[in-house]
Amino acid sequence: MTAPPKSGAANAASAPRTRCDVAVVGAGAAGLMAAICAAERGRSVVLLEKSPRPGLKILISGGGRCNLTTTRSGSDLEAQYGARRGRFLRHALRSFPPAALRAFIEAAGVPLQEEDLEKLFPVSQRARDVVEALLRRCHDRNVDLRLEAAVVALGRDGDGFVLSTARGEVAARSVVLATGGLSYPKTGATGDGYAFCRSFGHTITRTFPALAPLAVGPGWVRELQGIVVHDVAIASHDANGKLLCIRQRPILFTHKGLSGPAPMDLAGDIEEAEGRGGVRFDFVPGVAADELERQWLAATAGTGTQKVEGLLPPHLPARLRAALCGLAGCATSTLANWSRDSRRRLLTTLKDLRVPVARSLGYDHAEVTRGGVDLQEVDARTMQSKRTPGLYVCGELLDVDGPIGGFNFQAAFATGRLAGLHA
């Protein structure tokens, strides 16, 4: 993490000072969109980016393909962010839904296509095309983009603001903070915006890594490394065993624990449970436990030397089937000597296997940050700070996060747009 930025009254440096209507800090999805929208309203815009490359997270997203958004809409879309965050995002998402983001990006020269799980990607499969399209828009609207221009201090200057960067000062009538969260710090997101917001009286809710692989203790999980399972449900639970989130998406067993879309979606909950939560597997989500037992009893009637393992559903890889039988204590049982207790243990192992999970692999591996600028202190219709007029906050810097599936870019673009329309 870089040294925390200075905030409060900024230093008057000897470097040249630029004046503009709007200074946008951070050239990620939210900042690029805010800059474009402000410039389209005729505002003079300076876009300040810490790293040498703008839109770095867009470039690495979706394995370099960029899952830009989703085809979900309306209240179903809002619900993906949870009740409180979804309520805050309602105006942003309704005024700029996924269909509008799609139209915007396609008009900028990047056709999109729908893939599995309602995800939208560039037809070219190149995230780079999205960044280049956004940069072309910035260029065409005369956005003054400055790279390697980390904002190190932000303060009031009369009714406006002054921002100090290594490349000089910028005086602006309003400021849009789009500095992202703490995840993937090597991309430039090191939490600078939190300190700026705090200095203007904002509360920063506790932050946690989210959308990250899970570090799982029990050896049997790590021994299954390399296995991918489909058609399996996994759910997070808190310290009291309360079910938090359930996902039926691919799961990858790794040498550290669990990865893939489903476990990653649960990481934020696991982190919030602070070592007292865990996950539950249902390896046969389509069949109730009593129905499964009935099927087993019918299949075992009159049979003898066949191993119990042969009864497990074929969609489970052989190594996983063996591990589950081992956990249930029936690895060597045959159908003939299979006891009722053992059958019940295997049922529980298949339908409700609980595994304590203390943490995720952390911010270095987390696609987003949960927590951030308190939503109660930001006007949901404009993204303007309720503490400091003229200051706007958008994107992942806000206490907003969504699951895998294009929901995080959708929120970043939609909130960035509102900031740009009002700053």
**Positions in the binding site for ligand FAD (CB under 6 A):** 5, 25-31, 48-51, 56-57, 60-62, 66-67, 150-151, 178-180, 183-184, 188-189, 192, 367-368, 395-396, 406-409, 412
Q: Report the nearest approach of ligand FAD to the CB of residue 47 (Å).
A: 9
Give whole-number Cα distances, 201 to 30, 113, 233, in Å: 22, 43, 43
Q: Which residues pair with 274 in a beta bridge?
A: none
Q: Min. distance of Cβ 187 from ligand FAD in angstroms?
A: 6
What's the min distance (Å) between Cβ of 56 and ligand FAD? 6
| Buried residues in 279-306 as b, exposed as e (16+ CB within 10 A) | bbbbbbeeeeeeebbeebeeebeeeeee
Nearest residue (CB) to ligand FAD, 48 versus 350: 48
Structure tokens at 165: 């960067």
Q: Can you read off the two tokens belonging to residue 226?
A: 């390399």
Using the minimum distance from each CB to ligand FAD, give the nearer residue, 102 or 321. Answer: 102
Question: Residue 78 Cβ, how far from ligand FAD at the closest point, in Å?
Answer: 15
Q: Which is nearer to ligand FAD, 277 or 395 (CB)?
A: 395
- Minimum CB separation from ligand FAD for residue 35, in Å? 11
Where would I find the beta strands (DSSP E) of 248-308?
251-253, 257-259, 278-282
Helix H or strand E encompassing 353:
strand 353-356
Closer to ligand FAD by Cβ: residue 67 or 388: 67
Asked if 327 and 220 count as a contact pair (C-beta separation under 8 A), the reply is yes
Contact 350, 174 (CB under 8 A): no
Is 5 or 122 the residue whose CB approaches ligand FAD more closely?
5
Least Å from the CB of residue 192 to ligand FAD: 4
Give me Rg for the CA atoms of the chain.
25
- Please state the φ and ψ torsions of residue 404, each to the nearest 5 degrees: -65, 140
Between 9 and 239, whose beta carbon lies closer to ligand FAD?
9
CB of 275 to ligand FAD, least distance (A): 24
Q: Considering the complex, what minimum distance in angstroms separates the CB of residue 211 from ligand FAD?
A: 7
Category of 243 on φ-ψ map: left (φ > 0), alpha (ψ -120 to 50) or beta: beta
d(CA 145, CA 18): 13
Q: Which CB, 189 or 216, lies closer to ligand FAD?
A: 189
CB of 115 to ligand FAD, least distance (A): 11
Can you tell me the distance from the alpha carbon of 324 to that of 218, in angstroms, rounded to the nearest whole number?
13
| Per-residue DSSP letter, 159 | T
- Between residues 49 and 269, which has the closer beta carbon with respect to ligand FAD? 49
CA distances to 41, 268, 369, 412 from 354, in Å? 54, 18, 26, 35
For ligand FAD, the closer CB: 11 or 339? 11
Kindly give the interhelix angle for 407-422 and 29-40, rounded to the nearest 10 degrees: 30
